[in-house]
Amino acid sequence: MEKNIFVADLAAMKRFAFAVARHAKPGFVIGLAGDLGSGKTTFTKYLAEAMGIQDVVNSPTFTILKIYRGTIPLYHMDVYRLETIGYDWSLEEYIDGDGVAVIEWYPYVGAMLPKNLLSIDIRATGETAREIRIKGEGEYDKVVEDVVRRYGN
Ligand SMILES: Nc1ncnc2c1ncn2[C@@H]1O[C@H](COP(=O)(O)OP(=O)(O)OP(=O)(O)O)[C@@H](O)[C@H]1O
Ligand SMILES: [Mg+2]
């Protein structure tokens, strides 16, 4: 299942992230794509907030991986500089692990991705306007419909 969602501003992005967070459970993997500054980290911040995580979520660009402890742990990865920083991060153990994994620039780690994946591609169409393409594969096929319904309400 694939859907397009229009996000007008930050408040709408927050609403979208909260709708996605309803599906948070161990092993949930979310892939984020989109140009620099499109809003991947911003989405992750709202997702973390919705998951009850108190810490400030910021860009993990120079560390590849940041771990946030909540009721369910959140593994926030940004693999943009994986080639530069090095591959020795054992990311796989977080991808099919005990928490929710969010991977910024997921197309860069195609071989590492699980068959059950929710991918979110963000495109800036204005200062605060974003066009989102959300796609659910495997068991996340049905999640797309639910997210769209919740977001719409
Ligand atoms: N509707 C929106 N959704 C998300 N971000 C928005 C929106 N409107 C404005 N912004 C702003 O756009 C910027 C997005 O930056 P962010 O760091 O989230 O992008 P990114 O995709 O993670 O970039 P990078 O590829 O460098 O990691 C933020 O400054 C945010 O406040
Ligand atoms: Mg980012």
Q: Tell me what pLDDT residue 87 has.
A: 65
CA of 26 to the centre of ligand 2 (A): 22
Q: Is 44 in the pocket of ligand 1 (CB under 6 A)?
A: no
Distance CA 77, CA 38 (A): 16
| Nearest C-alpha neighbor of 60 from the set 102, 26, 22 | 102
* pTM of the entire predicted model: 0.96
The atom of ligand 1 lying closest to the CA of 35 is 25
Which residues of 105-153 form beta strands (DSSP E)?
A: 117-124, 130-137
**pLDDT digit string (tens) for 111-130?**
889 999 999 999 999 999 99
CA of 47 to the centre of ligand 1 (A): 14
CA of 79 to the centre of ligand 2 (A): 10
Average of per-residue pLDDT across 99-114: 94
Return the percentage of the chain with pLDDT > 90, whole number: 77
Ligand nearest to the CA of 40: 1
- Residue 85 scores a pLDDT above 80: no
The pLDDT-based confidence of 83 (bands split at 50, 70, 90) is: confident
The domain limits of the chain are 1-95
Burial of 131 (0-12, 13-18, 19+ CB in 10 A): middle
Q: Tell me what pLDDT residue 153 has.
A: 64
Q: Is 63 left (phi over 0), alpha (psi -120 to 50) or beta?
A: alpha
User: What is the DSSP track for 44-105?
Assistant: HHHHHHHTT--SPP---TTTSEEEE-SSS-EEEEE-TTHHHH-STT-THHHHTSSSEEEEET
First to last CA, the chain: 20
Q: Tell me what pLDDT residue 58 has.
A: 87
Query: Which range has highest mean pLDDT (54-68, 91-105, 120-134)?
Result: 120-134
User: How many other CB atoms are found less than 10 A from the CB of residue 126?
Assistant: 9
Q: In the structure encoding, which two tokens stand for residue 110, read together? A: 């195609």
Q: Is 60 in the pocket of ligand 1 (CB under 6 A)?
A: no
**pLDDT digit string (tens) for 13-61?**
999 999 999 999 999 999 999 999 999 999 999 999 999 999 888 886 6
Distance CA 118, CA 57 (A): 20
Rg (Cα) of the chain, in Å, rounded? 14
On whether the 1-95 domain is CATH 3.40.50.300, my answer is yes
- Residue 93 scores a pLDDT above 80: yes
